[in-house]
Amino acid sequence: LALGQIGNFLAYTAVPTVLVTPLGALGVPFGSILASYLLKEKLNILGKLGCLLSCAGSVVLIIHSPKSESVTTQAELEEKLTNPVFVGYLCIVLLMLLLLIFWIAPAHGPTNIMVYISICSLLGSFTVPSTKGIGLAAQDIFHNNPSSQRALYLCLVLLAVLGCSIIIQFRYINKALECFDSSVFGAIYYVVFTTLVLLASAILFREWSNVGVVDFLGMACGFTTVSIGIVLIQIKAVCVKHMLRVGDLD
C-alpha cells in the first residue's frame, strides 16, 4: 500500500491529474483477479465483465488524455492557486463541507449514504491538487535560488492541507463503512470522488483547455466505461455476500 501511494504521488507530478485519478480504479479489477487466484474467490460473469470493462475504459482514457502538462513550475502553480475562479470554487466547497459536517451529517449521515460520500469526495478537491502541488513545489526546494524559500513554505502549507483532508476523509469513510455495505459505498464513492476531483483539477490546472472535442468525448466514454466496470465488480461482491448469508441461514 505504501509503495502504491508513492507511485500515485510520482504519477501526479509526471502526468495530468485528469488521467491519474480515473486510472486509480484499476486497483479494483486487479485486486479481484488476484483474489480469484490467490484466495480462491469465485469470479462470476459479472465480475469478469466488470474487469474487462475497467481495463478497456482505462485504455480509452490513456489514448485520449491530454498529452502535456498545463502547470510545470512553482510560479505557474502559485498563479493558479490565487486565481479568483479557483478561490471562489474552494469557498463554495468549504461552505458545503461545513453544512454537511456540522448540520446534515449528524442528522442524516447514518441513513443516507450520499452524505458521507459527499464529504469525502468534496475533500478530494483539496487532496489531489495538494498532492500535485507538493510535487511541483518540491522540485524547487533544493535549488539554490531565491524561490526555494517560497517553495518550502508552499510545500508546508500544502502538506498541512493534505494531512487535514486525509484525516477527515478517513474518519467519514470509517463512519460510512459502519453503516453501509462496503461494496455499494466503494462503487458510488469512486464515481463521485473522481468526478469532483476532475472538476477541481480542471478549474485549477486547466488541463482541459488543450483537449479537442473528440478527445473530450473519448475521455468521457472511457470514464463511463470504467465506472460501469467498477459497479459490476461491486455487484458481484454483493451477490457473493448474499449467497454466503443464505448459506449460513441454511
- The domain limits of the chain are 1-68+211-249, 71-206
67 vs 89: which has the higher pLDDT: 89
71 vs 23: which has the higher pLDDT: 23
Task: Encode burial over 198-230: b for 16+ CB neighbours within 10 A, e otherwise.
Answer: bebbbbbbebbeebeeebeebbeebbebbbbbb
pLDDT score at 201: 78
Nearest to 80, CA basis, from 1, 8, 17? 17
Cα–Cα distance for residue pair 203/127, rounded to 1 Å: 15
> Model-level pTM?
0.76
Mean pLDDT within 91-120? 91
Cα–Cα distance for residue pair 111/17, rounded to 1 Å: 33
Cα–Cα distance for residue pair 118/96, rounded to 1 Å: 9
pLDDT at 214 exceeding the cut of 90: no
pLDDT score at 19: 73
- Cβ contacts of 86 within 8 Å, gap of 6 or more: 80, 203, 204
Dihedral sign of CA atoms 34, 39, 40, 46 in order: negative
pLDDT score at 232: 80
pLDDT score at 242: 54
pLDDT at 89 exceeding the cut of 80: yes
